[in-house]
Amino acid sequence: MRANAFIAGLCLLAAWAGTASLARAAGSDLDTLLATSKAAPRADIDGRPLLPETLRDRLAVVSFVSADCTILCVTRTMDLDALARGLPASLRGRVVFLAIGMDPAGDDAGRLRSLVRQLLGPAPQIRVLPSDAGEVKAVAEILRYPAAALPDPPPSVLLFDRRGRTAMVYGGDPLDAPRLQRDLVALDSFTEGLDRP
């Protein structure tokens, strides 16, 4: 099982690396993943805009969700929220956790908000971003996630450095929360991103 998760992670990382030139043209890898065709920045399920300063000089953990996702997606979301709550205080303010909605036809902000409140309570540590059809298509293309698999969200978690560059792609379930926490602690020491420790 662990070998399959590792291989899946490597495949996703290779696919993600193949989009590096596209990402650099649009800004960081994270900027590319969160890009929208709207004039305003993307907003979370509570209507709060995801402004560039929200992400500046922070590590980002990104997962994917839909209101009708399988139990694996549900437990991954709950595990990420628990990880966010359990981070050391010295690190907690320097990491942002995001989940991108992958079912625009079935999920509006209200439906996703209801799911998040049921799973994570009234003060989740993950900001959930609803997506329109164009945003979902772009994310699926970036991740090379098959359109036929949608609206099931990709079973991956992405980690970005302080400059928005891809640091790691984790594939498979269940989430290896202790490893992700160790990686966050290590990545936090690279104050200028991975290429300049």
Residue 115: half-sphere exposure toward Cβ, Cα within 13 Å = 27
For position 19, what pLDDT does the model report? Answer: 40
CATH, domain 2-188, list 3.30.365.10, 3.30.465.10, 3.40.30.10, 3.40.50.300: 3.40.30.10
Q: Over the stretch 45-81, which tens digit does the pLDDT of each residue have?
A: 999 999 988 899 999 999 999 999 889 989 999 999 9
For position 7, what pLDDT does the model report? Answer: 38
Q: Is the pLDDT of residue 96 over 80?
A: yes
Q: Over the stretch 162-173, which tens digit does the pLDDT of each residue have?
A: 999 999 999 878
Q: Is the pLDDT of residue 25 over 80?
A: no
Torsion of CA 57, 61, 66, 72, to 10 degrees: -170
User: Amino acid identity of 26?
Assistant: A
Q: Is the pLDDT of residue 27 over 70?
A: yes
For position 40, what pLDDT does the model report? Answer: 84
Q: Is the pLDDT of residue 13 over 80?
A: no
For position 133, what pLDDT does the model report? Answer: 94
Q: Over the stretch 71-80, which tens digit does the pLDDT of each residue have?
A: 998 999 999 9
Q: Is the pLDDT of residue 181 over 90?
A: yes
Three-class secondary structure of residue 144 per DSSP: coil
| Percentage of the chain lying above the pLDDT 90 cut | 68
- CB 196, CB 96: distance < 8 Å: no
Averaged over 11-21, what is the pLDDT?
A: 42
For position 197, what pLDDT does the model report? Answer: 59
For position 11, what pLDDT does the model report? Answer: 42
Averaged over 104-133, what is the pLDDT?
A: 92
> Which one is predicted more confidently, 166 or 12?
166
Cross-strand partners of 166:
160
